[in-house]
Structure formats: C-alpha cells, structure tokens
Structure 1
Amino acid sequence: MMGNENANQMNFFSEMSEYQITAREFFSTVLLDSLYRNFGFNDILISYFDTHGNFLSWTNRSGALLDYEGHPYRRFMENDVVRYRIYIEAVRDHLTYFNVEPRLYKATDVIGEKDYENSPYVRFLEENFRKHYSVTLAFGINAYIQAAFFKSREDGDFTEQEIEELKEIYVYVANSYKNFKKYEQAKIIANIQSEIIASGEKAFLVTDDFTHVMSYNKTAQQYLADILGEAMVEHIDSSTPCSWLPFLLGGEEDVQAEDRVQTRVIKNYIFKIYTYDQTYSNGIIDRYHWITISKKKEQSASVSPVPKSISANGESLLTHAEQRVAELMCQGLTYKAIADELVVSYHTVKKHVQNIYSKCGINSRYELYKWMEDQAQE
C-alpha cells in the first residue's frame, strides 16, 4: 500500500513538472485529471476569486464557467460561509503561492454538524452537484484559488483517514504550484529586465502586488540604502513581504489610473512605477510593478535639449507609428504588450523605440515621459 502511495506521489510530481514547462495556467482540468488518475478523487470543483474575495469563475472536469449574471454561484455567494472563513483567515495569515502548509476546511466543521443539514451550503451542493459534503483546499494570494472535494450523502462525510490523505495531496499540489509560479515569474521578470536594460535605465527593481521584491540591481540597492539606510535593504527576500516597499509605492491617494505611470520623488530620487498584468482565462490577474530610480541631478545633467514635436519643415517629428509606440510606452506597457496592441513584431517595436530615442535626443523611458509631457504643454 505504501509503495502504491509513493508511486502515485511520484507520478503526480512528474506529470506536474512536465506540465508546468508549457502550461499557461496551473489550476485547470489537467490538474483535475492528474488528481483523479493518481489519487482517485473525481468530484472536485476549482473556484477562482480575485485577491479581494470577489468570485471570477469555476472549473470542474467538464470545463470552465466564467462569472456572468445567471451564474449558479451568484445566487449563493452571500451565504457561502465556508468561502468567507477561508478568505478571512487567508488575509489574516498573508497567504501567498509560497505556502505549502495544509489549509483544509471541512464544511461540517466550519458550519457545525447541528446546523449543517439545513444550511444553504448543503442545498447549494445538492442542487448544483448532487453532493452533500465537502473539504476545501485553499491556495494562492488571499486564497484566491480553492479546490473543493465533494462526497455524496450516501458515501458519508470525510473520514479522518481521508482528511489526512487530503493534507498530503495539499502538500503535493502546493509544492507543484509554488514551482510553477517560480518558473512563470522567472520568465516574466527576465522579459521585464531585458526591456529595462534596453531602455537605458540604470537602477530598477521588480515587485509583485503584495510587496515582494522579485528582482533588483546593485545601483537600485545603493539608491535605496541612501534613502532608507543600509539595514533596511540588505536583506531582500522574494518570498517575504518587504516592509518598506509600501512607503515607496505610496498609499491609495497616490495611485493614478491603472494605465498611467506613477511618479514619486523621495529625497531627490525620482521613482517611476509601471504595472505589468499577467492575465488568465479564469479571470485572475497577477499584477507586477517595475520601478526605475534616478537621481534628480542625473536627469537634469543627462537630458539633452528637448526638441520640438514639429521639425524645421513643419512636419511631425515622429511618424504616426512612432507616436503611438511612445504613447503606449508612457502608459507603462512592455515592448511585448505594445507589439500585441499594435499587432506588430517585438523587433518592430524595438526599432520604433530606437528611432524615437534618436529623434527626441533621449535615452530612457523617464526622459520620454518628460518629453511627451512637454509636448502636451506646448
């Protein structure tokens, strides 16, 4: 028996390792099929929420169902005490995709056996899935992904042995998901870094939306040490929220529209904050920030005299395509996102950027942003 369990575990890890290399999303029907093949659990529903607890969609082995006005969950969501408990505790514990400690919620424990039979929760399970009992596993940022394992009334509630098995499955899934996120984030960060370097910025850091510093360079570390002190920045860990990052990003009152670049000036340093959204078919959006840092005096010394938007012969300095690329750059879009928006190749965007920098006498996004501001004021 133990040998079979070990074999199932190894098969699951092997399948998920191969899957994560090409997968666009981890929690999908592929995962459900693997759980069925290796552990025998067939009745599973994956539900997706945003990081504020709002419902987005759900998936079972039959496929996905995005939220819409008549979605079955809409009529029930206000009475979903299991989900409410999961969300409150996830926020309290700062749950992220790095967590591998089992987080299981047996419905009869959350609601109480005395009230369970007459609860809206049971009616919801019976009406939509013909099931009676559930254990929900919570994953991701603020538990924005939950996998509910179902059983029928005839099969009875989950036993202690089954709960222990689900705890082991949680660890298998959580570790696979963590590896998937690390692999995915490495690709995202590499793309962002190459673009930052190509733009000529000297100091940068990349963060997620939950104050984890995912990447930074030495110049940025030196600038941050000058602002915050050496002790504050010498221990940057991508798996631990950064206590001083909210100070740099600012509060809600500092946040501009999502498609605009945020600018903050702290101790003679200029911070330009861009956003990068990784979107998924289930409705989830993982947001990253890439932040460039420059000294005010460096900018004033390095910026060439700003040319006019109109050339000597009365024509526009930038072509229509270059003007559109410049506008999208100032909105914080990456080269790849600009290429997708304009339906052109990545290399075409890079060529446009080279031409823009050359014509405008600039060397970075920040200088382009200032140049565009100047043109708007003329």
Structure 2
Amino acid sequence: MGYQGADQMRFFSEMSERQISAREFFSSVLIDAIERNFGFKKILISYFDTQGKFLSWVNWNGVMPDSVDHPYRKFVANDIVRHVIHQEAVVDQLTYFNVIPRLYKSTDVIGAIDYEHSGYVRFLEENFQQHYSVTMAFGINAYIQVAFFKTLDAGDFSNEEIELLNRIYVYVANSYKNFKKHEQIRIVSNIQNEIISSGERAYLVTDDFMHIMSSNDLAQEYLKDILGTTIAEQISSSKPCNWLPFLLGSENDSSAANRVQTRIIKNYIFKIYTYDQSYSNGIVDTYHWITISQKGDDKAVDYSGVKLPLTQAEQKVATLMYNGLTYQAIADELVISYHTVKKHIQNIYIKCGVNSRFQLYKWFEDKEREGAKK
C-alpha cells in the first residue's frame, strides 16, 4: 500500500482543522479522511462506555447502534481482541490524552496457530467479509476503538503497514487530545459562568476520570481545612485525584443520576451536580461541578413561603435546577434560549427569596418537609 508524504501532510492538516471545528471527532468523516489519504478502505469504529459496555459502531456501510438484533451482541462475550484492549486500558488508566500508539494485530493477540479456526475470524468473515484486523485504542478505558481490516486474499498486515498505522495513530491521537482540550475548556467555562451567576462562592469542576478541571481559591482554602495543606498538590487536570471518588460517591448511587448529591464533611456542605456531554454514538462524558459552603452560611436567608407565585415556566425551570441540570441543559430540555433560562432563574430567586442554587435547593427541601407534615 503506497503513500506519499503529501498525503500525510494533508491528513494532518485535516485533523488539525477537525480538532477545532468538529462536534464529534470519531465518525464517518474520519473514516473517509483515512481512506482518502492512506488508502485503507475497510475501517470500523466501535464505541463503548467507560465500563466496557458496547454502544454502537460505524463503518463503510453507515452507523449501527446497539440493539437486540445487533450482530455484535452474540459475539461480544467471545471478542478476545476487545477483551485484551479493554483490560490493558483499564490497567494503564488510558485517557483521551494518550498519544503513544496502542495497536493490536489480531494474529498477534490470538496467535497464528489458533487464528484460522477462531471465532474472531468467523465473526469478521460473516459480518464484514474480512479476515485480518489491526485495532487502535483511544479514550477513557479504550471506549473508542478503530479497527482496520484486510481480506484473506490480501494477506495479513505487513510491517510497512503497521509502521504506517502507528503514524496514523499518532496523528489521530494528537488531534483527539486537542479536540478534548478545546471541548473541556468550553464546558468548564460554561459551568464556571453558571456558578458565578448562581452566587456560589467556592467550587470545583471535575471530569469523569477524577481530574479537577477547575477550582477557585476559596474552595482550595476549604479543602485545606478538611484534608490538610498538601491538598493543593493533588489538584490537577492531568492526574486523578485520589479523594474525589469518596466525595462523588458510588457510580451505582441511583440518587446521583437524577438529583443533586449532598455530602457534609466536618463543617462544610458539598453540593454535587452532574453535567453530561452526550454524543450520537451513545458515549456520555460526565462532568461534576461541586459547590462548597460552610454550615451557617445560609442563616440570614428566610425560606418561609413563596413571596410571589411561580409561573408554569418558572416552575419547570426551578424543578430542573433542583435536579441538578445546568443552565444550558435546562435550555436544551425546554427548547428555550440560555438567556431565557437566566431570566427565569433571576425571577425564581426573587420570588423565593434566595440568592443561589444551594439556597433554592434548601428552600425546596423545606417545602417538601412542610408538605410531608400536612
């Protein structure tokens, strides 16, 4: 398979543009770019969640979400290549920032002696009319894998092709890393703006791999009081924070999925909100924004009664806020503008006599308790 230096430069240029403008990075557009510049015609992109559950795939025939009839359903338990990829990614704590090639040649994973009679080959032949594969692993716990196929007649991947695939991996991985950086800067900025607008004074923003993406000085002061002065050294956007899992709680905590979580540690109240970034392939990247307040900060606020009745629209917005949605998520849910949401929230704060989301949350809790007593 021949290739020119100009093709590589054109591909790199396309990826550089894509890392800034793309809504989703791994898609049929990437498949087309690889084929156009390097000649690989049979490519499959598979998507999983961070726990390894299959979500969907896209190839030269289009997109195929998971379903009862999906062909991968019957094979997933026996997919030794995927099993090895996922297991090694978990051990290595693979994230979107890895740029070191992670290539898995199917004949190396399974072994040349057993390969021809393996279930893996039968699966490739039955579903893609292909015989050999090399799979690239990307993202958190390898939740995205890009497989390149060849037929039996074309033969297994040569050393020259593996060398080219290594270079393609580096191009794609660097562009994906920059794409995630751009995306996370945008997401964190939106969350910060909302926190500031809500009147909260101390906050953290984290991703779903236990990195602290943003925090302010007051939050760090509170954390030092709780966890000691060395806490500042653990606040990092590139290294997992070992105390965050304790704060965020279990992934199986059903309350985390549909309402604000509350943690009280020492004299501090932590309110944990969830921000989900969803993609058409089924992947959901979860971010958390955490506000911290000292007990007693809200004593000056009178939560007794609504001063003015909330309109139906304001009630919907208030309920979604109580469930932890961000301003933008509320706008998307109600199909209204971000600025309309902000206006509704300003009115809600005035009518309920509160100054922040935390105070509104407590106001709702007080109302629920009053209702339960009646």
- State the TM-score, normalized to the length of structure 1: 0.94
Q: Secondary structure at the match of 2:296?
A: helix
- Report if aligned partners of 1:205, 1:213 keep a CA contact under 8 Å in 2: yes
Tell me the residue number matched to 2:354. Answer: 362
Give the Å deviation of 1:321: 1.7
Deviation string, structure 1 residues 238-297 (Cα, Å, up to 9, x no partner)? 111112212322345766240110000111111000001111111111011010011113
Tell me the equivalent position of 2:311. Answer: 319
Q: Secondary structure at the residue paired with 1:32?
A: helix
Deviation at 1:80? 0.5
Percent sequence identity over aligned pairs: 67
Q: Residue 211 and residue 20 in structure 1: after superposition, are their counterparts in 2 closer, same or farther (change >3 A)?
A: same
Match of 1:306 in 2: 303
Q: Distance in 2 between matches of 1:200 and 1:41?
A: 53
Q: Is the 8 A contact 1:132 1:152 kept in 2?
A: yes
The equivalent of 1:242 in structure 2 is: 241
Alignment-derived partner of residue 25 in structure 1: 24
Structure 2 gaps, min length 5: none
| Aligned equivalents of 2:262, 2:8: Cα separation in 1 | 49
Q: What SS does structure 1 have at the residue aligned with 2:220?
A: helix
What is residue 333 of structure 1 aligned with on the other side?
325
Q: Distance in 2 between matches of 1:87 and 1:59?
A: 19
TM-score when scaled to structure 2? 0.95
Shift of 1:229: 1.3
Quick check: 1:171 aligned with 2:183? no
Question: How far apart are 1:317 and its partner, in Å?
Answer: 2.6
Partner of 1:42: 41
Count of aligned pairs between the two proteins: 370
Aligned to 2:4: 4
Cα separation, 2, equivalents of 1:3 and 1:79 = 35
**1:262 counterpart = 2:254:** no
**Quick check: 1:255–1:262 contact (8 Å CA) kept in 2?**
no
Counterpart code for 1:354: Q
Alignment of structure 1 residues 269-288 onto 2, 5 Å: 269-288=268-287
Distance (Å, rounded) in 2 between the aligned partners of 1:225 and 1:253: 29
Q: 1:62 maps to what in 2?
A: 61
1:108-187 paired onto structure 2 within 5 Å: 108-187=107-186
Q: CA deviation at 1:362?
A: 1.0
Find the residue that maps to 2:367 and give its secondary structure.
helix
SS class of match (1:84): helix
Displacement of 1:22: 2.6
Structure 1, gaps ≥5 residues long: none
Quote the residue 1:292 is aligned against: 291
Supply the distance in 1 between the matched residues of 2:83 and 2:253 (Cα, whole angstroms).
30
SS at match of 1:298: coil
Q: What amino acid maps onto 2:161 in structure 1?
A: E
Q: Is the 8 A contact 1:306 1:361 kept in 2?
A: yes
The separation in 2 between residues aligned to 1:368 and 1:133, in whole angstroms, is 58
Task: Tell me the equivalent position of 1:377.
Answer: 369
> Partners of 1:27 and 1:55 in 2: how far apart?
16
Structure 1 residue 163 displacement after superposition = 1.3
Matches within 5 A, 1:190-229: 190-229=189-228
Instruction: Please tell me whether residue 104 in structure 1 is matched to residue 103 in structure 2.
Output: yes
In structure 2, the residue matched to 1:84 is 83
Letter of the 1:305 partner, please give it: D
Q: Secondary structure at the match of 2:206?
A: strand
What's the CA shift for 1:202?
0.4
Q: Deviations over 1:190-239 (max 9, x none)?
A: 11111111000001111011101111111111111111112122352211
Residue 372 and residue 28 in structure 1: after superposition, are their counterparts in 2 closer, same or farther (change >3 A)?
Answer: same
Name the CA distance, whole Å, in 2 between partners of 1:210 and 1:197: 24
Distance across 2 between alignment mates of 1:254 and 1:123: 40
Amino acid of the residue matched to residue 64 of structure 2? L
Give the AA of the match of 2:18: Y
The match for 1:344 is 336
Alignment partners' CA distance in 2, 1:56 and 1:32 = 18
1:356 aligned counterpart, secondary structure: helix
The offset of 1:61, in angstroms, is: 2.8
Distance 2:284 2:156 in 1: 35
